[in-house]
Amino acid sequence: MSFATGLRCTRCGRLYPLSSYDRDCLTCRDVAPSALAVEYDAAMLAPRPLLPGGVGLWRFGDLLPVDARDAVSLGEGGTPLVPLPRVAARLGLDHLWAKDETREPTGSFKDRLACIGVSAARQRGARVIVSSSSGNAGAAAAAYAARAGLACIIFTFEGAAGPPVTQMRALGAMVLSVERSEDRLPLLAAGMRRFGWFSTSPFTQPVVGSNPLALEGYKTLAYEIAEAMDWTVPDWCVLPVCYGDALAAIRRGFTDMVALGWTKRVPRLVAAEVAGSLGAGLASGDDALPDVRLNAPTIATSIGASRGTFQALDALRRSSGVAVTASNDQILDWQATLARDEGMWLEPAAAASLAALAQLAERKVVKPNDRVVILATAGGLKDPSRAETKIAPVPTVPRDFDAALTTLRRTYGFDARAESA
């Protein structure tokens, strides 16, 4: 049974009914636009025994805003916490894991959001799902809408082609492209106003976050991490951050568990960002975040927003967190290192978490003994274009084994004789 009772502004605490999931806080709008977050009956967060074992996100249905009996599911959640010993050694750390969200049904952590969002939409009788996305969020919305038998409209922008757009279309979504990325939100908002379309993605300008019901799905990341660590929590959780949906919600997941008596504390959160808006916000102490224009295009397009959100800033402040900017070169380097050392190839945006951690380890903010989890939000096949430009073309060889050996040596420096047992 769901214990959700309403929505509360993350900044001023003003209460709204659950039906206000399609707005930001009216009180804060002119000062520091802020997201609403789901408020639960106190009974939900009373100490209680651990959940029974099992796999999947819906095990945590009692802590979510949608009843498990209304689930639209593709088997999401229950992803592994994969140790990264070689990369840890490079960083001078003893304990490092990746929460591997590349294994979600559509290949990214956005499935946790879309699954709860589309389930809530169907429960409320919505007929159309809408999303403003150039990538993972749209692919996830398309899959869950298809699963629910609902129409799905996605507004994307020119130049955002690539695998996730193909994925959206293959999954039956109606994809429309506008010239500039900022032109998407007014269109989406018009559909919400005029026809009651249910948005799983951001819907306000400036963006405060995605649908507050949907983003509760990310709390399950925290529950699963703690469970995999035998109901302890890491010292640090590092997340690639765009609008900070996952950052804000994972913190709530960790605080839920303290209230439930399952764990004792909340980890320090790290926002790996590319523009640096959150870092500037933390430094200034203001609640309104600056718009930080990038000098050159980022390769981590999924987290390319120039302005952070209050919900992300708040999550960092409340968790003694830090924001770190990751450059294109750092992201490419750590993306390649993680792939070669550990067999885990991430989308550039996801690899930003490792690029940020590397800086904190070097600065000794993260100590060798600290236990660290990075969120591996999506896999390399979501955006292979940048890796392809870095990798030399595949050499062609004749049907001649000696010629193949010569090419292995010349191109890859591999000496077959030296490597034979």
Ligand X SMILES: Cc1ncc(COP(=O)(O)O)c(C=O)c1O
- Which spans of this chain sit near ligand X (rule: CB under 6 A)? 108, 135-137, 240-247, 302-303, 347, 349-350, 377-378
Among 4, 7, 9, 215, binds Zn ion (CB under 5 A): 9
Kindly state the smallest distance separating residue 300's Cβ from ligand X, in Å.
8
Nearest to 162 by CA among 384, 338, 361: 384
Kindly state the smallest distance separating residue 81's Cβ from ligand X, in Å.
17
Nearest to 78 by CA among 249, 220, 274: 220
Residue 393 preceded by cis peptide, ω within 30: no
- Count of other CB atoms within 10 angstroms of residue 252: 23
Establish if 44 lies at the interface with Zn ion (CB under 5 A). no
- Among the candidate windows 7-15, 49-57, 94-102, 276-284, which touches Zn ion by CB under 5 A? 7-15
Alpha-carbon distance of 80 to 55, in angstroms, equals 10
Interacting partner of 347 out of ligand X, Zn ion, none (Cβ under 5 to 8 A depending on kind): ligand X
Identity of the residue, 14 or 124, whose beta carbon is nearer to Zn ion in the bound complex: 14
Interacting partner of 27 out of Zn ion, ligand X, none (Cβ under 5 to 8 A depending on kind): Zn ion
Q: For residue 95, give both structure tokens.
A: 């304990």
Kindly state the smallest distance separating residue 11's Cβ from Zn ion, in Å.
5
Q: Please, which residues have CB within 8 angstroms of residue 141's CB and are 6 or more apart in sequence?
A: 110, 114, 117, 118, 129, 131, 133, 152, 154, 168, 173, 200, 201
Kindly state the smallest distance separating residue 356's Cβ from ligand X, in Å.
12
Alpha-carbon distance of 330 to 361, in angstroms, equals 14
- Count of other CB atoms within 10 angstroms of residue 70: 13
Alpha-carbon distance of 218 to 177, in angstroms, equals 28
Alpha-carbon distance of 172 to 162, in angstroms, equals 16
Among 4, 7, 18, 25, binds Zn ion (CB under 5 A): 25
Establish if 313 lies at the interface with Zn ion (CB under 5 A). no
Element containing residue 129 per DSSP (H, E): strand 128-132
Among 19, 27, 284, 320, binds Zn ion (CB under 5 A): 27
Q: For residue 97, give both structure tokens.
A: 């894991």
The angle formed by the CA atoms of residues 286, 290 and 293, to the nearest 5 degrees, is 160
- Among the candidate windows 13-21, 51-59, 142-150, 248-256, which touches Zn ion by CB under 5 A? 13-21
Kindly state the smallest distance separating residue 302's Cβ from ligand X, in Å.
3
Identity of the residue, 44 or 344, whose beta carbon is nearer to ligand X in the bound complex: 344
- Among the candidate windows 10-18, 295-303, 341-349, 411-419, which touches Zn ion by CB under 5 A? 10-18
Binding footprint of Zn ion on the chain (CB under 5 A): 9, 11-12, 14, 25, 27-28, 34
